[in-house]
Structure formats: C-alpha cells, structure tokens
Amino acid sequence: MKSLGSIRRSFAPWSDPGAKPYISFENVTKIFGDFTAVDDLSLDIFEKEFFALLGGSGSGKSTLLRMLAGFDEPTRGRILLDGQDLRGIPPYRRPLNMMFQSYALFPHMTVEANVGFGLRQEGVPKAEIEARVAEMLKLVKLEQFAKRKPHQLSGGQRQRVALARSVAKRPKVLLLDEPLGALDKKLREETQFELMDLQQSLGLTFIVVTHDQEEAMTMADRIAILDKGKLMQVATPAEVYEAPASRFVASFIGNVNMFEGKVAARDAGSARITGASGAEILVGNAGDAAAGNTVSFAVRPEKIRVSSKRPEGAVNALEGEVYDLAYLGDMTVYHVRLDDGQVVKASALNSSRASDDPLTWHDRAWISFAPDAGVVLTR
Ligand code: ADP
Ligand code: MG
C-alpha cells in the first residue's frame, strides 16, 4: 500500500464551512408510478472525494447514480454539478462517466482497443489515443496485456480494463455501481486498494455504490447510508461506526449490542439508564436525551469485556452465562446471556496464546463496559 494516510487525513472539505460542494442533491425525489425510490434527499459531495452510497438492495442507490449520470431525471428537486443545474443535460454532455455493475468489454477487441473505444468514438487523433491508452494501461498495471482479448484475462484483470476504459476520457467524476460485485472476496479486497490508488493518482471524484459495508468503510472518505430511498446519515467511516445517528445505522454498520431503557436521571452530560429488568447503566454522554425518554445504548462487541468475576471498580457490569463462543483465531467472540434474557456479544483479541481467564460454555460470566463505550440513541 502507498502512504495515502497522511494525504487523506488532512482531506476534509465537508467540515470546512467555506468549501463549495462539487455535486449537490437538493431535495431530490424520484417516483416510479406510485413508488417513491428516492425520498426528498439532500446531499453534498466535494471535489476529489471518494464517496460511497451504502444501503440494502432496493434502497435507491442506483437510482440516485442514474439521475446524476442523466439516465433519469428527478421527479422533484435538483442536482447541481459545479454550480450548474443538470436538468435537461444529456448524459454524454455531463463531465462524468459511469462504470456499470456488469462491465461488458467488447469480446472481439484487444485490451487496448477496448480502452481506446470511447476516444475513437469522439474522434480523438490517433497519436493522442495511443498515448492515452498507454498511460491508462500503465495506471492499471496491464501494459503487457495490451494485445490480449478479454477472454485471455482473469476476472480481476478484466475489471481493471473496464476501469481504464471508463477513465480514459478523463471524466471529472467516475460513478461506479457495485464495481466489485463480480469478484471473489480476496480479489475484491485487493481491488479496493487499487481503486483507492487510482482515484488518488487521477485526482478524480469517485462515487461508488455498494451494499457491502466493509467495502464502503475501506475505500470511502465519507459514506451516505440509505434506507428505502431516505438518507439516514452521511459521515466518515469512523463517525458512522463510533457515532451512528440512529438505531438503523448502528445495526447496519458492523455488530452492535443495544441496551434498551429509560433515562432515569441526567445531569450536564451523563445519564443513568434503567432497563426493563431494573438493571442500571451509567452513560457518559446522553446527547439530547431527556429524563423519561426511552433510549438505546449501542455498544460494539469489542468495547465489552468478559470476565469470570465482576471487575473491580467497574461502573457498568452485568451478570450472565456464556451461551455461545466462537474462536476465530485472532479473536474470540462470546455470546453472554444476561440474567434478564438479553444476549450480549463481546469480542476479545487473542493477543497472547493462553488466556488467563478462560471461559467456556455455561460458565457464569460478567460483561462490563465504560460509560463512554457506546452512544445513546433516541431514534
Ligand atoms: P438499489 O440500487 O439500492 O438496489 P434501485 O435504485 O435500483 O435500488 O431501486 C430502488 C427501488 O426503485 C427498487 O424498489 C426498484 O424496484 C425501484 N425502481 C428502480 N428503477 C425503477 C423503474 N425504472 N421503474 C420502477 N421501479 C423502479
Ligand atoms: Mg443497484
């Protein structure tokens, strides 16, 4: 991997009030017949951002991308690109290119002919096409495959040809609809890093649609989470994981435990939450939850400790029984059934070979977590 970290760490135009968005969806709604596929959605994307649209099947991701590309128009609302309203502008006049889920290469054409196809269509001079194709093939590390036909390539290589083809015309924005859907897990992971490198070296804005949360977390600067055509949250991967805005987002991204209860008392920041069984949890930051509100305290499994005895000084500790456990090599996942019946997931890194507190099926166990281990959710 290249040392992208230091570059990307300072890239955060969305938190700069003076920064101008490059693409804006303004109250965009798309209705098919009597079905609302995209529902009053507003969203800003910045130049050179690697942006992911994440959601389950049918959540409106492709519809959103198709409207940006110009294959569909919004029923209501507008889409701006660099300040210009895109309504009525045909797809080929928009400074963007779309790479589809099923990236069909021309089977009878060589790799270089495939990559240069769009340029020939546009009547770009031959010498320039050759230069551009060579540059693109170098970028996706396929120089030595220029004369091959698609069937002489692996799935991953074909995918890179499709990528080279879609950036050959130098669009400002590349739209990718489930670009890695056809690849197996290992190749997907490799290709994710290649896509990030490509986006960096070309300095383009990438908008990628995916239903795979890990993929979105790996690649994107920010993620928009969609559900039934509605925007649920837009934030960096770390924010959606550590500070989900709702129960939906908390459950959609990664594993989470939800402790349900009522806010019994609160002061400046902290609050006491009482569950149905009477168990109390102290939370460090209750946000805008008021006394009496029904809330969920969402805690990730890796922030919960499992032990055979109540840890000394633990603020939040609940007792139960080891109900299930899975040894995954690098870590062990415990399912602890609390005495009130709730099953809590806790994961522990196996950083040494032998645990000094071995726990097994049906053992009595305590789970414990800090007041700031999770977030209080009111919706
Ligand atoms: P996603 O890409 O998130 O899986 P889509 O944007 O493709 O979802 O579709 C969102 C919803 O809109 C789906 O329920 C789909 O059936 C519906 N839809 C998409 N395109 C059309 C269309 N042309 N006509 C009618 N319904 C459509
Ligand atoms: Mg789709």
| Digitized pLDDT (tens) for each residue of the chain, 379 residues in all | 344 444 566 889 999 999 999 999 999 999 999 999 999 999 999 999 999 999 999 999 999 999 999 999 999 999 999 999 999 999 989 999 988 655 679 999 999 999 999 999 989 999 999 999 999 999 888 999 999 999 999 888 888 899 899 999 889 999 999 888 777 888 888 888 888 988 988 899 999 999 999 999 999 999 999 999 999 999 999 999 999 999 999 999 989 999 999 999 888 889 999 987 788 999 998 888 999 999 999 999 999 999 999 999 999 999 999 999 998 988 999 999 999 899 999 999 988 777 667 888 999 999 999 999 999 999 9
Beta bridge partners of 207: 51, 175
Q: Which of 140, 142, 115, 145 is nearest to 129 (CA)?
A: 115
Q: Which of 177, 175, 153 is nearest to 105 (CA)?
A: 153
**Domain-ending residue, one of 214, 248, 282:** 248
Which CATH number do you get for residue 352? 2.40.50.140
- What confidence score (pLDDT) does residue 241 get? 94
Both 366 and 296 in a single domain?
yes
115, part of any domain: no
Both 312 and 203 in a single domain?
no
Distance 196 CA to ligand 2 centre (A): 21
How many Cα atoms are found within 13 Å in the side-chain-facing hemisphere of 17?
Answer: 0
Both 228 and 361 in a single domain?
no
101, part of any domain: no
Beta bridge partners of 243: none
Cβ atoms 176, 99 nearer than 8 A? yes
pTM: 0.89
Find out whether the beta carbon of 60 lies less than 6 Å from any atom of ligand 1. yes
Both 233 and 261 in a single domain?
no
Residue 295 phi, psi dihedral angles, 5° rounding: -135, 170
Beta bridge partners of 175: 98, 207
112, part of any domain: no
153, part of any domain: no
Q: What is the spatial distance between Cα 367 and Cα 363, in angstroms, rounded to a whole number?
A: 12
**Count of domains observed in the chain:** 2
Please identify, by atom number, the ligand 1 atom nearest to the C-alpha of residue 178: 2
The C-alpha angle 66, 171, 112, rounded to 5 degrees, equals 105
Q: What is the spatial distance between Cα 284 and Cα 272, in angstroms, rounded to a whole number?
A: 9
Mutation to probe ligand 1, out of 36, 57, 63 (largest number of atoms < 8 A from CB) = 63
Residue 27: its H or E element: strand 23-32
Both 262 and 238 in a single domain?
no
Both 219 and 271 in a single domain?
no
Both 206 and 291 in a single domain?
no
- What confidence score (pLDDT) does residue 4 get? 47
Q: Which of 247, 253, 260 is nearest to 218 (CA)?
A: 253
Ligand located closest to 224 CA: 1
- What confidence score (pLDDT) does residue 160 get? 87
- What confidence score (pLDDT) does residue 267 get? 84
Domain ranges, residue 281: 255-377
Sign of the Cα torsion 245, 242, 275, 257 reads positive
Both 267 and 359 in a single domain?
yes
Find out whether the beta carbon of 67 lies less than 6 Å from any atom of ligand 1. no
- What confidence score (pLDDT) does residue 101 get? 55
**Domain-ending residue, one of 228, 248, 268:** 248
118, part of any domain: no
- What confidence score (pLDDT) does residue 88 get? 95
Closest C-alpha residue for ligand 1 atom 5: 60
- Judged by DSSP in three states, 295 sits in strand
Residue 271 phi, psi dihedral angles, 5° rounding: -150, 160
Identity of the amino acid at 7: I
Both 234 and 343 in a single domain?
no
Q: What is the spatial distance between Cα 331 and Cα 353, in angstroms, rounded to a whole number?
A: 11
- What confidence score (pLDDT) does residue 103 get? 65
Q: What is the spatial distance between Cα 119 and Cα 146, in angstroms, rounded to a whole number?
A: 16
- What confidence score (pLDDT) does residue 5 get? 46
Q: What is the spatial distance between Cα 266 and Cα 284, in angstroms, rounded to a whole number?
A: 10
Both 182 and 71 in a single domain?
yes
Distance 182 CA to ligand 2 centre (A): 14
- What confidence score (pLDDT) does residue 6 get? 47
Find out whether the beta carbon of 57 lies less than 6 Å from any atom of ligand 1. yes
Both 237 and 262 in a single domain?
no
113, part of any domain: no
- What confidence score (pLDDT) does residue 182 get? 72
**Domain-ending residue, one of 248, 272, 298:** 248
Find out whether the beta carbon of 30 lies less than 6 Å from any atom of ligand 1. no
239, part of any domain: yes
Distance of CA 187 to the CA centre of its chain: 18
158, part of any domain: no
Which 3-state string (H, E, C) describes 39-60?
EEEEEEECCCCEEEEEECCCCC
Both 28 and 49 in a single domain?
yes
Find out whether the beta carbon of 55 lies less than 6 Å from any atom of ligand 1. yes
Which CATH number do you get for residue 218? 3.40.50.300
